[in-house]
Chains A and B, each alone.
Chain A
Amino acid sequence: MTAVERVAESFRRMDDVKAGKDGLNCVLWSDRDASLEAARERDARVAAGPLAGVPYMVKDNFATLGLPTTCGSHILRGYVSPYAATCVSRLDAAGGVLVGKTNCDEFAMGSSNEYSAYGPAKNPIDPSRVPGGSSGGSAAAVASGIVRIALGSETGGSVRQPAAFCGVVGVKPTYGRVSRFGLVAFASSLDHVAMFGREVDDAALALEIVAGRDPLDSTSVDVPVPAVRAERGRTKDLTGLVIGRPREYFPEHLDPRIAALCDRALERLASRGAEVRAVSLPHTALAIPVYYIVAPAEASSNLARFDGVRYGLRLEGEGLRAMYEATRSGGFGPEVTRRILLGTYVLSAGYYDAYYKRAQEVRSLIAADFRAAFAAGVHALFTPTTPTPAFKFGAKADPYEMYMNDIFTATANLAGVPAMSVPVGRVDGLPVGGQIIANHLDEPAMFRVAYAVEDALGAEAHA
């Protein structure tokens, strides 16, 4: 298939599934003509590239030329970035064609895509339910077959959780593995570029293309791109592979059906020669409190640039101060407002030591738990991705209850270790994800387990 054919197919699919406002609302902005023109350019290239003509989408918090970048917020309504994110440039250079920007929780703050200023996105499996968040739009775009590859971003689990809710693959690489240049910052020390794939291999391909040092991102690590696709051929015999099952991720109150699906996957791995070992990550329960201090604190600072001066929304007021307040209060939604207030509070004079500093100290203990587990001979950890499958719209009205969606995913953001979600089955017809966590920079081990689970479960992963 040519690039033009693939792109046309994507747009057809968008129409079929009603990807826009009157349907799933997973795609916010797209430009068929511009995408087809890009596709023609790809077809004309002598060297097609590893992503030859493949259509992809990115979450609306990635800077792109041409299509707007709104971050799901009113404060950036209509803003078109005059530069492109490094990841987007790399995907284009590899032959990919951007076919749309996807819906997300405003500034990536949310776990259900219900906090978008452009309306919620819907779960293609059951549109009365959320697709997860904050990268709900990208998850839904991949799940509904519009694209096989989409980028999202993770700060507390915002790609793995929607991947689990929508029955697709979601990967959060090691912190610093993929350049954040062009990813609109939410919480800098927790933000990761992450990827969705229809299958494990799609996500692996995307990772190999976008990973690698970027001189424009000081936190980008200077290590070779991991050859994760090569792990596909190493899944039949898992002798010597040790997989940890951390008890803190299988708590008493966890839905037993979810636990059962995870254990089924583990049994399949064991039957191929892997050793499954009980392990403990004792500080796991502290992840949410730590996350909800560190993330809002950094966010309150990162969002200060939205002030109506140089770009974005400006609402007039009597004098500068009034303009700032009118713009920001008029431009930000309630969840973002809440997090900015929380973040400003925990950084403010008198509270910094007790909150932010203390949270960062506890964070290092969470990271140490992972280091200890891997040092003891475990190659990867296997856990449920989320405590529940996709919930109905409006089900989590209490902010803290919404935060608890991240309970199994936030630890990997806090520690920076790579983690991914693969489908492991269904509960009440709704997708359930199993999470694989590996050691810092050990994406190959993580993908090996992922390919193995996918191969071992086959169609049962979606049944």
Chain B
Amino acid sequence: MAVTRDDVKHIAALARLAIPEERVPELVAQLNGILAHMDVLRDVDVSAAAPPAFGSAPTPLRRDEGPPIQLAAPRESFAPSMRDGFFLVPRLATHESEDE
């Protein structure tokens, strides 16, 4: 499964990374080089695979009560842009529920 230029552009978009055009060939080569080392996994017999023992404990449940973890500093101290308590971001280009 070779990674192509279009693959790199597609995954960069999924990951919200802007890759300059001149860096794409280098990344294609590097990703292919790395993934080539993973090919060895294809031929491994995984019929005996089972989840590791320590992963089978159940997730702990917490009680439905507060208090929440307190913030030692107000949100405004670390937020890039706030107004009247809202976090502000540039207006979405579309209005819809998710941007792909």
> Does B associate with A?
yes
Contacts of B93 in A (CB 8 A): 319-321
CB pair A371 B46 closer than 8 Å: no
One digit per residue, 1 when the CB lies within 8 angstroms of any chain B CB and 0 when it does not, for chain A 247-286 equals 0000000000000000000000000000000000001011
**A364 vs B72: C-alpha distance when bound (angstroms):** 41
Interface residues in A302-348 (C-beta closer than 8 Å to B): 304, 307-314, 316-326, 328-329, 332, 337-338, 340-342, 344-345, 348
CB pair B30 A358 closer than 8 Å: no
One digit per residue, 1 when the CB lies within 8 angstroms of any chain A CB and 0 when it does not, for chain B 47-84 equals 01111111001011010000001111101011111000
CB pair A344 B11 closer than 8 Å: yes
Q: Which of A221, A312, A329, A400 contacts B54 (CB 8 A)?
A: A221
Contacts of A340 in B (CB 8 A): 15, 17
CB pair A354 B27 closer than 8 Å: no
CB pair A345 B41 closer than 8 Å: no
One digit per residue, 1 when the CB lies within 8 angstroms of any chain A CB and 0 when it does not, for chain B 18-56 equals 110000000100110111011011101010111111100
CB pair A82 B49 closer than 8 Å: no
CB pair B78 A311 closer than 8 Å: yes
Given contacts A351-B1, A358-B46, contact A321 B99 (CB under 8 A): yes
* Residue A7 is within 8 A (CB to CB) of chain B in the complex: no
CB pair B18 A82 closer than 8 Å: no
Per DSSP, chain B at the interface is: loop
CB pair B15 A316 closer than 8 Å: no
Interface residues in A12-55 (C-beta closer than 8 Å to B): none
* Residue A463 is within 8 A (CB to CB) of chain B in the complex: no
CB pair B91 A348 closer than 8 Å: no
Contacts of A361 in B (CB 8 A): 46, 49
CB pair A364 B78 closer than 8 Å: no
B7, chain A: closest CB distance, angstroms = 7
Quick one: which of B49, B79, B99 has the most chain A CB within 10 A? B49
CB pair A80 B17 closer than 8 Å: no
Q: Which of A285, A288, A314, A440 contacts B80 (CB 8 A)?
A: A314
* Residue A293 is within 8 A (CB to CB) of chain B in the complex: yes
* Residue A244 is within 8 A (CB to CB) of chain B in the complex: no
Q: Give the nearest-CB partner of B70 in chain A.
A: A83
Q: Give the nearest-CB partner of B38 in chain A.
A: A289
* Residue B90 is within 8 A (CB to CB) of chain A in the complex: yes
CB pair B77 A338 closer than 8 Å: no
B28, chain A: closest CB distance, angstroms = 10
* Residue A391 is within 8 A (CB to CB) of chain B in the complex: no
* Residue A141 is within 8 A (CB to CB) of chain B in the complex: no
**A341 vs B17: C-alpha distance when bound (angstroms):** 9
**A403 vs B33: C-alpha distance when bound (angstroms):** 12
Contacts of B79 in A (CB 8 A): 310-311
* Residue A65 is within 8 A (CB to CB) of chain B in the complex: yes
A457, chain B: closest CB distance, angstroms = 33
The 9 closest A-B pairs by CB, nearest first: A314-B80, A325-B18, A361-B49, A324-B16, A361-B46, A82-B73, A82-B71, A311-B78, A329-B18
A-B contact pairs, 16 of them (CB 8 A): A80-B78, A176-B54, A215-B62, A289-B41, A293-B38, A293-B41, A300-B15, A309-B87, A319-B92, A320-B99, A323-B89, A325-B18, A345-B31, A365-B44, A368-B50, A399-B34
Known contacts A286-B40, A341-B27, A348-B11; 4 further A-B pairs (Cβ under 8 A)? A309-B87, A314-B81, A326-B18, A362-B44
